[in-house]
């Protein structure tokens, strides 16, 4: 699929992201200070960079697992139909779980994943999203922790892609079509 020409304007710097992750990690450490092991569940693929940086800041025993859910495909708009493409490898029953999402837009994906994982009876389940677009919300869900609220812009970078491109940018950028 070919995409129209576009440019990327920096929206959130790498330095701002790193500073915010340190703050978020402190809040997570406080919430889970009594855990014997925190299962950090990354929602692939957009959250992989965020997860890597976040778990390095957590001074807790952690296990990392991944779940891949899709509601976008290669497009720019949510299809509102969430499909699980890859499930967890481990069990989460009676375990402390932190779900890591790159961006909460309409809320359909996070809502679907939280409902699915709660049905597996974790001890505690909290959520964190690097980015939140509250103006786009169609489902009543909010992450426990949010890195940044952003306007209704199409963004890339720091793991987030457009047609499988731009995940490797060290910052969050706004896509501007030319």
- Per DSSP, the residues of the chain read -----EEEEEEE-HHHHHHHHHHHHHHHHHHTTT-S-EEEEEEETTTHHHHHHHHHH--S-EEEEEEEEES-TTSSS--S--EEEE--SS--TTSEEEEEEEEESSSHHHHHHHHHHHTT--SEEEEEEEEE-GGG--SS---SEEEEE--S--EEBTTB-BTTBSTT-SSEEEEEE-
Specify whether 102 is catalytic: no
Q: Which of 53, 105, 132, 161 is catalytic?
A: 105
Active site residue ranges: 105
């Amino acid at each position: 699929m070919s995409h129209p020409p576009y440019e990327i304007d920096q929206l959130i710097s790498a330095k701002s992201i790193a500073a915010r992750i340190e703050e978020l990690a402190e809040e997570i450490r406080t919430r889970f200070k009594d855990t014997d092991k925190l299962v950090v569940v990354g929602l692939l693929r957009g959250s992989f960079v965020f997860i890597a940086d976040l778990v390095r800041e957590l001074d807790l025993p952690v296990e990392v697992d991944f779940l891949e859910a899709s509601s976008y495909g290669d497009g720019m708009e949510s299809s509102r139909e969430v499909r699980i493409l890859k499930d967890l490898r481990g069990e989460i029953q009676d375990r402390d779980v932190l779900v890591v999402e790159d961006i909460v837009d309409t809320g359909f994906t996070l809502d679907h994943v939280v409902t699915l994982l709660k049905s597996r009876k974790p001890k505690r389940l909290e959520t964190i999203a690097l980015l939140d677009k509250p103006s786009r919300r169609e489902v009543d869900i909010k992450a426990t922790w949010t890195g940044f609220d952003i306007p209704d812009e199409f963004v890339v970078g720091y793991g987030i892609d457009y047609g499988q491109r731009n995940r490797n940018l060290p910052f969050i950028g706004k896509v501007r079509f030319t």
